[in-house]
Amino acid sequence: MTHDFPPLKNDLLLRAARGEVTERAPVWVMRQAGRYLPEFRKVRESHEFFEVCRSPELATKITLQPIERYTGLLDASIIFSDILVIPQAMGMEVLMTPGPSFPDPLVTPTDVGKLNAVVDVNKELGYVFQAITRTRKELKGEVPLIGFCGAPWTLFAYMVEGGGSKTFQKVKTWIFKYPEESKALLLRIADVCVDFLVGQVKAGAQLLQIFDSWAGELSPHDFAIFSFPTLKHISTNVRRRLAEENLSAVPMTLFAKGANHALGFLAENAGYDVLGLDWCIDPVEARRIVGEKVALQGNLDPNVLYGGREAIESTVKRMCEGFRAGKGGWIANLGHGITPGVDPEDMRWFLQCVHKYSSISS
Ligand SMILES: Cc1c2[nH]c(c1CCC(=O)O)Cc1[nH]c(c(CCC(=O)O)c1C)Cc1[nH]c(c(CCC(=O)O)c1C)Cc1[nH]c(c(C)c1CCC(=O)O)C2
């Protein structure tokens, strides 16, 4: 399948992801299309969350909302969807009430039998592919489009916990009581991730990000056993499949939130071009640990956006100085998703400050 997409006019993100020191840092924000935007809330008044995800027309419209509102300030778009579409594709029911909830979570390994034995991503998740293709056309080459999926460990945690959790007691019970069954299921999820990511590239995604939002719930030892192998499996197999299918290679970003203990190891061994950082590590320290092996993405504490213009400006300036002190590519972002209470004009100020303080001449 080949598409005739408009030529890309802004390749800052792709150059930084490949390790280039760019004239200005590309900037985008995790959850940039979301509840802090009145135009998003307006769409949600008349449509359920997953109904929006499943409608290529609505998903495209919402993906474009921040690009249109912040004209010229964002350097990437990310397809509107959710990490929980994979558990749905595997046969689980997921509701958004308003956080994610699974009416029928995986309680013991026998429940794995309830999952679909084979997952045809074109059939189950074709709506995401259609949304990506449509968005690429409507973006008119203004900025690249990021595709994504959840990491197996994070998805497994949702599937077992049945939603978010403070203690992760249920999923910890699984990994400590049924380690082999846990590893087998994690690999099954990883294989769906591979098919899903390759499909997103075929449909038009220009960079892929893997969200391991719950990586920090694991000890370094358990992260090495229950998350790292699946992350490596994904990077290796996505790259292999893209080459085999004569598709162009795309940069891959890993955001393993809370796993800063593993940064050096991930830079050397995980097979990603970019490592996303949360705000719990200093930019200079992060660069020292990874060397020039990978590009970095991040890492402003999202709550700084509640601190007013002065706080935003001084924190962005410090972040820019930190990342610019070292060599290698850097993509400016928050250290986690933007939250619903942020004033959209403060988000604009954040983007403007990044433009100002990350320019090489400044
Ligand atoms: C853990 C996780 C989820 N989803 C996602 C993650 C990984 C990133 C992270 O750690 O924050 C990823 C995600 N979710 C959403 C996107 C869209 C693209 C983007 O703008 O970044 C992306 C990349 C839309 C969304 N996903 C969700 C919303 C809000 C739902 C609504 O409209 O009511 C949006 C815009 C719902 C969602 N989906 C999820 C949760 C915990 C929630 C509820 C909390 C919240 O609202 O942030 C699961």
Q: Specify the CATH number for the domain of residue 103.
A: 3.20.20.210
Inter-axis angle of helices 179-203 and 121-139, nearest 10? 40
What are the CA-CA distances from residue 308 to residues 168, 349, 353 (Å)?
34, 10, 13
Catalytic residue among 15, 35, 69, 239: 35
Active site residue 24: no
**Nearby residues of 209 by Cβ (< 8 Å), 6 or more positions away:** 78, 146, 147, 148, 252, 253, 254, 255, 276
Q: Whose C-alpha lies nearest to ligand 1, atom 2?
A: 83
Cα(21) to centroid of ligand 1, in Å? Answer: 30
Report yes or no: 239 and 271 within 8 Å, Cβ to Cβ: yes
Here the contacts of 162-171 (C-beta below 8 Å, separation 24 or greater) are: 162/101, 162/102, 162/103, 162/105, 163/99, 163/100, 163/101, 163/102, 164/99, 164/100, 168/214, 168/217, 170/105, 170/107
Residue with tokens 């990490």: 83
The closest residue, in CA terms, to atom 25 on ligand 1 is: 82
Q: Domain residues for 183?
A: 12-358
Q: For residue 205, is it within any domain?
A: yes
Residue 4 within any structural domain of the chain: no
| 5 falls within a domain | no
168 torsion bin: left (phi>0), alpha (psi -120 to 50), beta (else): left
What is the number of the ligand 1 atom nearest to the C-alpha of 150?
A: 7
Return the SS3 of 33: coil
Q: What is the pLDDT of residue 3?
A: 86
Annotation marks residue 239 as catalytic = no
What the block records as the tokens of 312 is: 């935003």
Which residues have CB under 6 Å of ligand 1?
30-35, 44, 49, 78, 80-84, 96, 98-100, 148, 164, 211, 213, 336-337
Is 56 among the domain residues?
yes
Q: Which two tokens stand for residue 330?
A: 């850097």
User: Whose C-alpha lies nearest to ligand 1, atom 10?
Assistant: 213
CB 151 within 8 A of CB 230: yes
Q: Please tell me the distance between residue 41's alpha carbon and the centre of ligand 1 in angstroms.
A: 14
Annotation marks residue 348 as catalytic: no
Catalytic residue flag (residue 44): yes
The residues, ordered by sequence, that sit 6+ positions from 17 with a Cβ below 8 Å of its Cβ are 207, 251, 253, 273, 274, 295, 329, 331
**Structural tokens at position 291:** 């060397």
Tell whether 50 is covered by a domain: yes
Does the pTM exceed 0.95?
yes
Give residue 33 CA to ligand 1 midpoint distance, Å.
9
pLDDT at position 142: 98
Q: Whose CA is nearest to atom 39 of ligand 1?
A: 100
Q: Which residues of the chain have pLDDT under 50?
A: none
Candidates 44, 69, 241, 318; catalytic one: 44
Mutation pick for ligand 1 pocket among 82, 86, 208 (CB with most ligand atoms within 8 Å): 82
Centre of ligand 1 to C-alpha 82, Å, is 6
- Distance between CA atoms of residues 178 and 183, nearest Å: 9
Q: Say if CB 100 and CB 164 are below 8 A apart.
A: yes
Q: Separation of 292 CA from ligand 1 center, angstroms?
A: 31
Question: Does residue 6 lie in a domain region?
Answer: no
Strands 330-334 and 295-300: parallel
In a domain, 333, yes or no: yes
Catalytic annotation present for 212: no
- The secondary structure element, H or E, covering residue 100 is strand 100-101
Closest atom of ligand 1 relative to the 148 alpha carbon:
23
Pocket test for ligand 1, best of 40, 83, 94, 342 (most atoms within 8 A of CB): 83
Catalytic pick among 11, 24, 31, 36: 31
- Rounded CA separation 92/116 (Å): 9
* Number of folded domains that form the chain: 1
Any domain includes 282: yes
User: What ipTM was assigned to the predicted interfaces of this complex?
Assistant: 0.94
Nearest CA to ligand 1 atom 3: 83
Cα–Cα distance for residue pair 307/319, rounded to 1 Å:
16
User: What pLDDT was estimated at residue 361?
Assistant: 67
CB 88 within 8 A of CB 124: yes
